[in-house]
């Protein structure tokens, strides 16, 4: 399959929500058999852009070209007819229906006006086997782990013969093993010429799956390059708009100033004789088994629980 066939081209896409523009003229193109990693900080506009591609929302301005034909906007059905499938960040399944029913959601095969259950189950099993997902077809979707339900949505996209697959942060809810399965399915789809937009916050995944990297920042496209020419540092810099310092915790000028001082604190019941200091800019972790008193100590610090003895000083004040 030639990889140079352009499947989609979004140009000059603008989108406003309630008069506030959140996309300022963004381009995005995907070729057959290509995976474009779409990156950006929270709120950069990634989901908005791909929802426009999936016909979920319409752009305020811009053009959408699919297989060379230009559309001023798409609705969900139009996008679906063109083979655009979206795996949303949020689950989009029917929790009270079975796994098999969910895979065919809305498109159950029928014979003579009746649901062809045998065909449905055989095809559902086939696609789960392709994904190497081992879950019973009769299980209720709602009883599964979020990662498994996410894989069901991917199974549904496969059944529906996706030509362009948009994955909006699927890996957030997947275990490492499930992510590996997802990647191997993406490899199969690439070989079949499916074009994909893959949104992720895990930068280490990018070099594994992406052919091209595009970064959005505050509703603008700030980088679009072949993945092999982009380093992790390039991605971070493009996402943030400046170089990240190695340590993301703020550097405090007077690191030795004690801001919270607890001396010999007891509540008379659960904990006793607790002494600890927290300095400016410091994170102190309280460890303990359930029932050991860690929550109760915090309750006392916040004034929610009476103390029997000892003292709490905040910035030196009792
Ligand atoms: N339905 C909506 N109504 C109003 N504002 C919205 C709506 N959806 C998104 N926004 C705003 O548009 C901007 C872009 O949001 P979007 O969800 O596209 O970002 P994102 O890059 O997908 O972020 P994240 O990584 O958190 O998923 C944000 O400022 C967000 O608050
Ligand atoms: Mg999003």
Give CATH for domain 6-240. 3.40.50.300
The pLDDT value given to residue 147: 80
Domain locations along the chain? 6-240, 258-314
Chain segment 164-223, per-residue pLDDT in tens:
999 998 877 788 888 888 888 889 889 889 999 999 999 999 999 999 999 999 999 999
CB neighbours of 89 closer than 8 A, spacing ≥ 6? 47, 168, 169, 172, 199
Query: Is residue 310 very low, low, confident or very high in pLDDT (cuts 50, 70, 90)?
Result: very high
Q: Give the bridge partners for 26, in sequence order.
A: 13
Ligand 2 center to 47 CA (angstroms): 4
**Ligand 1 atom nearest to 216, measured from its CA:** 21
Chain segment 31-88, per-residue pLDDT in tens:
999 999 999 999 999 999 999 999 999 999 999 999 999 987 788 888 988 999 988 7
Specify whether the backbone of 132 is left (phi greater than 0), alpha (psi in -120 to 50) or beta: left
Query: Is residue 305 very low, low, confident or very high in pLDDT (cuts 50, 70, 90)?
Result: confident
Looking at domain 258-314, its CATH architecture is 3-Layer(aba) Sandwich (3.40)
Ligand 1 pocket, residue 17 CB under 6 Å: yes
Distance, in Å, from the CA atom of 269 to the CA atom of 267, rounded to the nearest integer, reads: 6
- Mean pLDDT of all residues belonging to the chain: 88
Mean pLDDT of 146-160: 84
The pLDDT value given to residue 254: 58
Ligand 1 pocket, residue 171 CB under 6 Å: no
Ligand 1 center to 24 CA (angstroms): 13
Nearest CA to ligand 1 atom 12: 22
Contact 134, 147 (CB under 8 A): no
Q: Give the bridge partners for 8, in sequence order.
A: 30, 66
Ligand 1 pocket, residue 195 CB under 6 Å: no
Residue 148 pLDDT > 60: yes
The pLDDT value given to residue 2: 47
């Amino acid at each position: 399959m030639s990889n140079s066939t352009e499947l989609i081209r979004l140009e000059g896409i603008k989108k406003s929500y309630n008069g506030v523009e959140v996309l300022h003229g963004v381009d995005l193109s995907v070729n057959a058999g290509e995976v474009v990693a779409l990156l950006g900080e929270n709120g950069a506009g990634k989901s908005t852009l791909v929802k426009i591609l999936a016909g979920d929302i319409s752009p305020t301005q811009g053009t959408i070209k699919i297989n060379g034909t230009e559309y001023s906007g798409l609705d969900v059905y139009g996008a679906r007819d063109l083979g655009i499938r979206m795996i949303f960040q949020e689950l989009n399944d029917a929790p009270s229906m079975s796994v098999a029913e969910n895979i065919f959601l809305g498109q159950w095969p029928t014979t003579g006006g009746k649901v062809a259950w045998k065909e449905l189950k055989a095809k559902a099993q086939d696609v789960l086997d392709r994904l190497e997902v081992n879950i019973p077809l009769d299980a209720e979707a709602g009883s599964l782990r979020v990662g498994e339900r996410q894989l069901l949505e991917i199974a549904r996209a496969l059944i529906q013969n996706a030509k362009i697959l948009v994955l909006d942060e699927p890996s957030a809810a997947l275990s490492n093993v499930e992510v590996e399965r997802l990647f191997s399915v993406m490899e199969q789809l690439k070989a079949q010429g499916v074009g994909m937009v893959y949104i992720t916050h895990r930068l280490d995944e990018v070099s594994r799956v992406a052919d091209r990297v595009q970064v959005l920042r505050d509703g603008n496209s700030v980088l679009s390059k072949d993945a092999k020419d982009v380093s992790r540092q390039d991605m971070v810099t493009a996402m943030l708009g400046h170089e990240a310092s190695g340590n993301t915790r703020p550097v405090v000028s007077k690191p030795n100033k004690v801001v919270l001082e607890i001396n010999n604190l007891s509540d008379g019941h659960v904990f006793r004789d607790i002494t600890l200091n927290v300095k400016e800019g410091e994170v102190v972790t309280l460890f303990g088994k359930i029932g050991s008193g860690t929550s109760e100590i915090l309750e006392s610090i916040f004034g929610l629980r009476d103390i029997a003895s000892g003292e709490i000083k905040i910035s030196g004040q009792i």
